[in-house]
């Protein structure tokens, strides 16, 4: 398993190597160009010597001064010396045979000029013939020197063009390799980090999803393991919070259930008393009626106890098809003891609607919402519970500052939307966005844990549903819950 740090370091080393390589190539090319410039200086110097030879040659023929002949011979010697010392520079842009021919011409020129100086004044014909030969040789030397200068300039321009193309090509190659290295680092480093970021954002949105990332880097694997460990701890804490809230609400529910149990137990007690005191004197039909009442009330009490046990039992999450009407009725039976006689509950639940979820957890969510509505109405008013079949994109609520949606519906196909509406005092617009935050409550200290609506949100999210709230101060509050529809819905 490799290290993320090692991968990034190798990427930087590769870029540094490319930069050093391009820099060395540029330095080498500049050095070569410097050599070409120095060669050009030698060619220019040689061309200058050739022109000086011709100048003193003309002066010697015009004024017949020995000093001019001496200077011409001196410049011829300098020209030959330049060719000998910098032959390699000249050979870069011309042939060795041409240089040898030029050396021979300079030697011939020096010899001819020396003989010309030694001729007596009376040998006019020979002097004239020698002057013509000197002029021809001198012109040949100057023409060759000028041609060499032109060739050197062309060679220098070609070298500069080649250097420019090579530098541009090197820069283009450097850019391409840098992009390739960047893509490699992005694929090996950035993308896993982006997936981690997406996982963290999912947690921030309330979805406790574990990461399943195959990476060859130790740091990414270690970070993924740590992240998944945190997810496990969060899931455990969430289950503990749900359990704690359930136990807290269970104590309140027991008082209502005790009241519910008291009625069938009282009926059973009364019937037993009558049978005990007047059993032999009772009419057989009436006796059977009393026994039937005892059996009916016993079944009623058993059903109440079973509902309470189902709610209190700690079972793993298990989805199943749940008839919505039965689920709401059982939930209302659990909170019946907390419903004041001044509270009217209206149900509008179409027959055949089914949910696909965990019965116990959904019951807890509905209990929390119903209890919350009863408390804000202060045990007087009307509670409407309705449901309908909807598409995922269609909210029953409206838009604006009094309507907010939370969570993301991740199910496919049709959904069931449950509306729980009260006519209480409503929720202020500045408080509305915070009602599902954990431990947020507007009640006095000790009057509430602030976990009820948070747990509702967590349960809805766990089922792949979403929830919205619409509240206008003074006009009540409505919660809209959207959950996946159950299979086999009528």
pLDDT at 77: 92
Percent pLDDT > 90 in the chain is 13
Round to whole Å and give the CA distance between 308 and 337. Answer: 13
Q: Which residues pair with 470 in a beta bridge?
A: 403, 478
pLDDT at 78: 92
- Are 415 and 485 in contact by the 8 Å Cβ rule? The answer is yes
Q: pLDDT by residue (tens digit) across 132-153?
A: 999 999 999 999 989 988 888 8
Confidence category of residue 347, pLDDT binned at 50, 70, 90 = very high
pLDDT at 55: 92
CATH number corresponding to 318-490: 3.30.565.10
Q: Which two tokens stand for residue 219?
A: 């740091």
Using N-to-C axis directions, what is the helix angle for 4-63 and 218-278, rounded to 10°? 160
Q: Considering only 83-92, 183-192, 286-295, which range has the smallest mean pLDDT? A: 183-192
- Are 276 and 282 in contact by the 8 Å Cβ rule? The answer is no
**Residue 445 pLDDT exceeds 50:** no
Q: pLDDT by residue (tens digit) across 365-374?
A: 898 899 888 8
| Range 385-403 average pLDDT | 69
pLDDT at 489: 47
- Are 335 and 363 in contact by the 8 Å Cβ rule? The answer is no
Q: Which two tokens stand for residue 327?
A: 């689920």
Round to whole Å and give the CA distance between 366 and 346. Answer: 15
Higher-confidence residue of 47 and 9: namely 47
Higher-confidence residue of 304 and 265: namely 265
| Topology, domain 210-314 | Helix Hairpins (1.10.287)
- Are 14 and 234 in contact by the 8 Å Cβ rule? The answer is no
Q: Considering only 187-196, 336-345, 372-381, which range has the smallest mean pLDDT? A: 187-196
**Residue 74 pLDDT exceeds 90:** yes
pLDDT at 409: 62
How far, CA to CA in Å, does 291 sit from each of 277, 283, 298?
Answer: 14, 12, 10
Q: Which two tokens stand for residue 271?
A: 């019937």
The answer to whether the Cα torsion of 263, 264, 265, 269 is positive or negative is positive
Q: pTM above 0.85?
A: no
157: Cβ contacts below 8 Å, ≥ 6 apart: none
pLDDT at 142: 92
Tell me the backbone φ, ψ of residue 235, rounded to 5 degrees.
-65, -40
Higher-confidence residue of 236 and 116: namely 116
**Residue 449 pLDDT exceeds 80:** no
Scored b (16 or more CB within 10 A) or e, 425-458 reads ebbeeeebeebbeeeeeeeeeeebbebbbbbbbb
Give me the half-sphere count of Cα atoms (radius 13 Å) on the Cβ side of residue 386.
Answer: 11
Could you count the other beta carbons within 10 Å of the beta carbon of residue 362? Answer: 24
pLDDT at 61: 86
Domain boundaries, the chain: 4-193, 210-314, 318-490
Tokens 């309470």 identify what position? 308
Q: Which of helix, strand or coil describes residue 346?
A: strand
Element (H, E) at 322: strand 320-323
Q: Considering only 113-117, 159-163, 197-201, which range has the smallest mean pLDDT? A: 197-201
pLDDT at 313: 62
């Amino acid at each position: 398993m490799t290290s993320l740090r090692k991968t990034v370091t190798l990427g930087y080393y590769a870029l540094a190597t490319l930069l050093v390589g391009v820099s060395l190539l540029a330095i080498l090319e500049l050095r070569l160009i410097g050599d070409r410039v120095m060669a050009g200086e030698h060619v220019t110097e040689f061309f200058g010597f050739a022109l000086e030879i011709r100048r003193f040659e003309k002066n010697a023929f015009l004024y017949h001064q020995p000093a001019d002949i001496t200077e011409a011979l001196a410049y011829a010697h300098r020209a030959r010396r330049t060719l000998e010392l910098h032959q390699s520079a000249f050979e870069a842009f011309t042939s060795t045979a041409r240089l040898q021919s030029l050396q021979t011409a300079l030697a011939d020129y020096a010899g001819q000029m020396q003989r010309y100086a030694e001729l007596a004044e009376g040998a006019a014909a020979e002097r004239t013939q020698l002057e013509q030969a000197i002029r021809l040789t001198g012109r040949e030397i100057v023409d060759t020197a000028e041609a060499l200068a032109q060739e050197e300039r062309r060679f220098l321009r070609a070298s500069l063009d080649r250097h420019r193309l090579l530098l541009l090509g090197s820069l283009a190659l450097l850019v391409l390799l840098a992009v390739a290295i960047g893509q490699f680092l992005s694929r090996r480093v950035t993308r896993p980090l982006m997936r981690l970021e997406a996982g963290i954002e999912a947690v921030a949105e309330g979805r406790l999803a574990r990461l399943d990332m195959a990476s060859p880097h130790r740091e990414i694997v270690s970070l993924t393991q740590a992240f998944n460990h945190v997810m496990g701890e969060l899931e455990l804490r969430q289950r503990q919070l749900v359990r704690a809230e359930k136990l807290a609400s269970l104590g309140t529910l027991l008082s209502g259930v005790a009241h519910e149990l008291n009625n069938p137990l009282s009926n059973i007690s009364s019937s037993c008393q009558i049978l005990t005191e007047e059993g032999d004197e009772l009419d057989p039909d009436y006796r059977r009626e009393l026994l039937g009442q005892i059996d009916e009330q016993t079944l009623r009490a058993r059903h109440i106890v079973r509902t309470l046990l189902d709610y209190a039992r700690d079972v793993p999450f298990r989805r199943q098809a749940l008839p919505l009407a039965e689920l709401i009725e059982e939930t209302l039976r659990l909170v019946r003891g907390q419903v004041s006689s001044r509270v009217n509950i209206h149900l509008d639940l179409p027959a055949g609607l089914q949910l696909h979820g965990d019965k116990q957890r959904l019951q807890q969510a509905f209990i929390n919402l119903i209890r919350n509505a009863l408390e804000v109405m202060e045990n007087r008013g009307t509670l409407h519970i309705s449901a309908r079949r909807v598409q995922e994109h269609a909210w029953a609520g409206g838009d604006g500052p009094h309507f907010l949606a939370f969570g993301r519906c991740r199910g496919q196909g049709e959904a069931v939307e449950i509306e729980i509406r009260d006519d209480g005092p409503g929720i202020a617009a500045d408080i509305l966005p915070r009602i599902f935050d954990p431990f947020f409550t507007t009640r006095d200290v000790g009057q509430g844990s602030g976990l009820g609506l948070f747990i509702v949100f967590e349960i809805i999210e766990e089922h792949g549903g979403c929830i919205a709230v619409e509240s206008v101060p003074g006009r009540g509050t409505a919660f809209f819950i959207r959950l996946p529809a159950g299979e086999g819905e009528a």
